[in-house]
Amino acid sequence: MSRLHATHGPQAAIRDQHGAQVLLRGVNVNQLGEYFQADPSLPPTVPLTKDDFHDIAKLGFNSVRLIVSWSRLEPTPGAYNTAYVGQVRQAVRWAAAYDLYVVLDMHQDAYGVAVDTPQNVTCPDGTTPNNGWDGAPAWATITDGASTCRPGERELAPAVTHAWQHFWDNTDGIQTHLVDTWGRLAHDFAKARNVAGFDLLNEPGFGLDASANGTTDLGAFYARAIDAIRAGETAGGGFHHVVFWEPSVLWSALGSNPVPAPGFTTDKNLVFSPHIYAESLSSNSIPGGFASAHKVARQHGVTVWGGEWGFWPEHPVDASRQIGRYAAAEDAARYGGAWWDWKQACGDPHVNQPGGQPSAVSGSLNRFTCPDQVMSAPDPAFADVLSRPAPRAVPGTITRLTSDGRTGRLVLAGRDTSDAGRCALRVFVPKRFADQPVLVTGIDHVRRSRELGNVVLRGCVADRFELRIG
């Protein structure tokens, strides 16, 4: 597989080593994460197998955002869990077998596993017990004895905000531990060509000073982590992978500030990776969510990759409309992204709230009825849009993209003024649209190949070109 990098400036994009623009369209995989287990009879994850990657590729995705947990990587201070890294390495190899890129995501929710409300604690009026979640190990969770009861969202529990403040303050060197862990992980995957890059920290939380935590404090941590990653890659004899950086969790909730200011690092191999949960977890509109992401990216001179997005309304008809509008906005912006998520077990904290009573259905692409955990295939209302025709690699720059997963119609236009890599065009067409007519302008040597029953179109482009399906 071609290794990837990010370009910087007005034409910022993710590109392969031939210079072709690459859209990473994928799905989150949380099956290697360590989550708090509220019910001993309900595991919080389901096992990850090679078949998962086969099925992901068969749907037409070309990437996965693979969750890894700091609590498993460093179970005790200074330790490095090579057995767990071996599981991650195996997953990366499985992904490579199906030409899937992997973004390694240092995942957390509500700081870590050790912020749960003990069963013998009665929360005051106006508050509710908090789940334990995922991310930081217990030894790196300093709460000052603050209450774990939450007056609303999980991030508002005092124990969570105190833990985050100690992380930003680097109390007892806990932030340094995560920085060092990133250096070790980057060393181990320094040569992995199908590792698209490293997502520094999922939805960073806030402590006692949300403004500083989400701007200067977050930028300083990112700079340290990037330096450690680059040192690890160099020591590992590899190459510099893309670094995906996220805004504060408050941005994900509100679709706006805070974010680190431009210049928090001199590294240019960067991609802004917000979670555009517009009209889903956020009240922001879909156009507003994309406009906010574009504004930050333009200020930083980078492109955008939506690390998480998804819809879980009670009425599937509404969900179908929303996902279609989101997909249209994603295509218009020429961005990639990753759906949340692939398989969410009945014991996952998102599904199983305090008290151990899970929701009736888990909210993942492969849905489980709970608590018996019987899986059903992806709903076509979601899967048809997610597996729509899509460019995978485009020489030069994409100037127009529209795609419809229900009709199979695709319009792809671009321009290429370079002399190299003109034959790198690759376009995915789902099996159900394999017989649709293909019309090209400025593209020759068009050929088809079969991949898991689907079709991939290849060709060589002129200075300006267009491809239409349907």
pLDDT-derived band of residue 255, with 50, 70 and 90 as boundaries? confident
Sign of CA dihedral 195, 103, 112, 249: positive
Per-residue pLDDT band at 359 (split at 50, 70, 90): confident
pLDDT in tens, 321-351: 889 999 999 999 999 999 999 999 999 999 9
pLDDT of residue 159: 98
Instruction: Judge whether 219 and 261 are in contact, CB under 8 Å.
Output: yes
Sign of the CA dihedral with 275 first, then 278, 283, and 286 last = positive
Instruction: Name the strand (E) or helix (H) holding 454.
Output: strand 454-469
Residue 315, pLDDT > 70, answer no
What does the pLDDT read at residue 205? Answer: 97
Output 10 or 227, whichever has higher pLDDT. Answer: 227
For the chain, the average pLDDT equals 95
Report the alpha-carbon distance of residue 426 to residue 437 in Å, rounded: 17
Q: Which amino acid is at 1?
A: M
Q: 197 pLDDT band (50/70/90 cuts)?
A: very high
Tell me which of 237-251, 253-267, 294-308, 440-454 is least confident. Answer: 253-267
Q: Which two tokens stand for residue 196?
A: 């698209």
* Residue of 243, 238, 241 lying closest to 225 (CA atoms): 243
pLDDT of residue 355: 66
Pairwise pLDDT comparison (352 vs 122), residue with the higher score: 122
Q: Which residue blocks in 25-108 are alpha helix, DSSP H?
A: 50-58, 70-73, 82-97
pTM over 0.85: yes
| Residue 314 confidence (pLDDT) above 70 | no
Q: What percent of the chain stands above pLDDT 70?
A: 98
